Chain A
Amino acid sequence: AQKITQTQPGMFVQEKEAVTLDCTYDTSDQSYGLFWYKQPSSGEMIFLIYQGSYDEQNATEGRYSLNFQKARKSANLVISASQLGDSAMYFCAMRDSGTGGYNKLIFGAGTRLAVHP
């Protein structure tokens, strides 16, 4: 069965520094997608970045980058130049092809990031 593991329940970072949030996954599929979402205290889930299993380059979106190590089955999120507004829960997720092509997302337990001034 597919599984996402986020081993860091909480992380602290100083403003303007970079931080890495860990994510490992388990799947027997050859084709899969990995996502990172941000959930601020308001509760909305905000899409940050996507990495496809066949993508040769690590994904980047502004200050977010994904350190994709396929052989190690890890997809760590790197946030550069942290800002106070980055304080939130961060979820790693994997697309599960499932049956019928409905492509549900399997989520990790999340990491709570606190950015200190």
Chain B
Amino acid sequence: SQTIHQWPATLVQPVGSPLSLECTVEGTSNPNLYWYRQAAGRGLQLLFYSVGIGQISSEVPQNLSASRPQDRQFILSSKKLLLSDSGFYLCAWRDRHPLERQYFGPGTRLTVL
């Protein structure tokens, strides 16, 4: 069965510091992968998606970037964190047709101070 991992689970970082969040998927090959951010008490906003190695598309221009160095690895990064980057970051992979539902990882709670 498929499993999705995210780490770290929680992170507290000072403003201006770099960021690297990792997501890995097991039990599937060539998945479509997604990074979402959830602000406190809000719904999810799509940040990036990837259909394959090295293929990244951005939904919202911002202080973050994403990379996909391996088929089942998706990384979210920042060179300099802002206070507004605080939130809950969720990685997801997409099921095949017809449902094409998305399965989410456990998330990373990021606090920027």
Contact = CB atoms under 8 A, between A and B. Distances in A.
Residues of B contacting A: mostly: strand
Interface residues of A, number: 25
Contacts, number: 60
Contact of A43 (B41, B45, B106): B106
Residues of A contacting B: mostly: strand
Given A50-B99, A104-B46, A109-B42, A44 B94 contact: no
A35 B51 contact: no
Interface string A24-40: 00000000010101000
Nearest to A37: B104
B51 A105 contact: no
A108 B43 contact: yes
Contacts of A101: 51
B106 A105 contact: no
Interface string B86-103: 001010101000111111
Interface of B: 32, 34, 41-46, 49, 51, 57, 59, 88, 90, 92, 94, 98-107, 109
A-B interface, 4 closest residue pairs, ranked by CB to CB distance from nearest:
A107-B43, A45-B104, A43-B107, A107-B44
